[in-house]
Amino acid sequence: MGRPGRGTRRRMDSTQGSYWIETAPGEAYPPLDGDLDVDVVVVGAGIAGISTAYEVARLGRSVALLEAGTVAGGVTGHTTAKVSALHTLVYDKLRRTRDEEAARLYAVSQSEAIERAAELVDELGIACDWERRDAYTYTHDAGQVPKIRAETDAARAAGLSAELVTDTPLPYPVTAAVKVTGQAQFHPRKYLLALLDDCVARGGRVFEHTPVVGLHEGEPCRVTTESGATVTARDVVVATHYPIFDRSMAFARLSSRRELVVAGPMAAGRDPDGMYITPDEGTRSVRTAPYGSDGQRLLIITGEHFTPGTADTDERFARLTSWATEHFPGVTFTHRWATQDNDPTDTVPLVGPLHHGARHAWVATGFGGWGMSGGIMAGRLLSDLMTGGRPVWADLYDPRRLRTVAREAPAFLQHQAKVGKHFIGDRLHGLDSADEIPPGGGDIVRAGGKQIAVHRDEGGQLHALSARCTHLGCIVSFNSAERSWDCPCHGSRFDVDGKVIQGPATKPLEQREPRHAEPSE
């Protein structure tokens, strides 16, 4: 796939961003402004990090939660928020690449996560639009029916209440679907902000706008922040979605995938009453949420997955909106946002010790689009491991696992080939002059043998940066829909001034002189 265009389209400014962030802004937490000593420090305040910090606090440990941006404001704040153990076609794949016991343990751990969330919603009285819903994985393609049938059999053998159906409440026909009852959905920020309130009440400390840039493992461990503050702790959890410390070698086993979301209000009578996903058409996910005070529902549709930095995001949004309008006529889509997931090469998340020699450093990553149940699971697993417990399904998620290396080799090699293609091939691209970049757009300009990332703002002013991602040096690409520079190798994202939006990069893109991107006299 070629590099995306220069952003000649304008953003659809009439739409809002993430509905979850808009409707649950939450309180602000301060940045860390001095050294701290705690039992556990958790780096990253998405659902995995917050769940871990909360579970640790419940066990009576002192905990500090450090977030580079705002709590539950990154990937977690842009999710579709299904809390389900039916993860598209995962069970048949696990049965084939591992064994039926692995599939069973996966189902047990994910189902326990759902019930843990339900327990906390009830115990803490969290008003987070918690709803029990049936989950479906469906297809329109008759040629894919054997896969749906195999997934039904595998999910049922794993212990889920799975059945093969040909009719669903969707307003359009499907050829076949696997249906699992008793799953759930919620408002993720309302849920997580309530957990943070209770965590703080138990003595937990929460800090926003506190990027972590260093980790020293030992007894005790120490993490250092961008401001120079140090947190000393017995245990460190890296829950930054994509690990910011490469000593885990996760970058070789994770591939980043970006997906788009459109949402809009619809009459309650049109609610398809379920959570749906199909791997067809570049993935389509459908569900609704309570909306407003008059009983309406918010229709939420996700799809168009692609590697960051490789697609025209505006064009993809238009394609997704067109699909949504065709299948749900009359709905006006008032919100749109994007999310990002990391897919592990062997399907299963990496939750456990950060690397082979780790004793007090832990990681949670690779949830592959199912971070709600996965993040809750990770919180339970890591809090148990740090306190001497070990769930029966701990080995399934252990990042040090070796038994699956041969089986994941094709996906591993495919991912590395794609990274290599971008690392080398993208260095051959670039404009001769920034004159070709329209207002609101951006592109790579070649100047003096170097590549410069140039954005022209709406007023015509140029913003120039080094085009080399500060993670491992791949060339970034401009995302016109979100006004960001995205790395196609490992998913790091930067704003137009170079600041890190999303890791694994921890350092900003270096500033360059705009004049270097202008044509020679």
pLDDT tens for the chain, 521 residues: list them: 344 544 433 344 446 899 999 999 999 999 999 999 999 999 999 999 999 999 999 999 999 999 999 999 999 999 999 999 999 999 999 999 999 999 999 999 999 999 999 999 999 999 999 999 999 999 999 999 999 999 999 999 999 999 999 999 999 999 999 999 999 999 999 999 999 999 999 999 999 999 999 999 999 999 999 999 999 999 999 999 989 887 667 777 898 888 999 999 999 999 999 999 999 988 999 999 999 878 899 999 999 988 887 778 889 999 999 999 999 999 999 999 999 999 998 999 999 999 999 999 999 999 999 999 999 999 999 999 999 999 999 999 999 987 555 555 555 455 444 544 444 444 446 677 788 888 888 898 887 778 899 999 888 889 889 999 988 888 998 988 788 899 988 888 898 898 988 878 888 998 988 765 554 44
User: Residue written as tokens 């019930």?
Assistant: 115
Q: What would the 3-class secondary structure string for 358-400 be? A: CCCEEEEECCCCCHHHHHHHHHHHHHHHHCCCCCCCHHHHCCC
Q: Which amino acid is at 347?
A: T
Angle at 462 between CA 461 and CA 463, to 5 degrees: 125
- The torsion angle over the Cα atoms of residues 298, 87, 272 and 301, rounded to 10 degrees, is 40
DSSP secondary structure letter of residue 481: T
Which 3 state secondary structure label does DSSP give 83?
Answer: strand
CB distance 63 to 349 below 8 Å: no
Q: What would the 3-class secondary structure string for 394-409 be? A: HHHHCCCCCCCHHHHH
Q: What is the pLDDT of residue 67?
A: 97
Compute the radius of gyration of the chain from its Cα atoms: 23
As a whole number of angstroms, the distance between CA 71 and CA 45 comes to 5
Q: What is the pLDDT of residue 518?
A: 57
Domain spanning 18-81+187-253+345-407, CATH architecture: 3-Layer(bba) Sandwich (3.50)
- The torsion angle over the Cα atoms of residues 130, 276, 148 and 93, rounded to 10 degrees, is -60
DSSP secondary structure letter of residue 90: H
Sign of CA dihedral 92, 97, 101, 102: negative
Q: What is the pLDDT of residue 375?
A: 98
- Ranges in the chain annotated CATH 2.102.10.10: 429-517
Which two structure tokens, joined as six digits, stand for 73? Answer: 């404001």
As a whole number of angstroms, the distance between CA 93 and CA 264 comes to 34
Question: Over the stretch 457-499, which tens digit does the pLDDT of each residue have?
Answer: 888 889 889 999 988 888 998 988 788 899 988 888 898 898 9
Q: What is the pLDDT of residue 312?
A: 84
Q: What is the pLDDT of residue 517?
A: 56
Q: Which amino acid is at 154?
A: A
As a whole number of angstroms, the distance between CA 135 and CA 411 comes to 27
Region of 133 on the Ramachandran plot (φ > 0 left; ψ -120 to 50 alpha; else beta): beta
Beta bridge mates, 288: 299
Q: What is the pLDDT of residue 406?
A: 54
**What end-to-end distance do the CA atoms of the chain give, in Å?**
34
CATH number listed for the domain at residues 429-517: 2.102.10.10
Which 3 state secondary structure label does DSSP give 108?
Answer: helix
As a whole number of angstroms, the distance between CA 149 and CA 175 comes to 11
Q: What is the pLDDT of residue 248?
A: 63
On the question of a cis peptide bond just before residue 220, with omega within 30 degrees of 0, the verdict is yes
Which two structure tokens, joined as six digits, stand for 379? Answer: 């919180």
Q: Could you give the angle at which helices 100-124 and 90-97 cross, rounded to 10 degrees?
A: 140
- With 0-12 CB in 10 A as exposed, 13-18 as middle and 19+ as buried, what is 300? buried
- Ranges in the chain annotated CATH 3.50.50.60: 18-81+187-253+345-407
| Paired sense of beta strands 230-238 and 361-365, if any | parallel
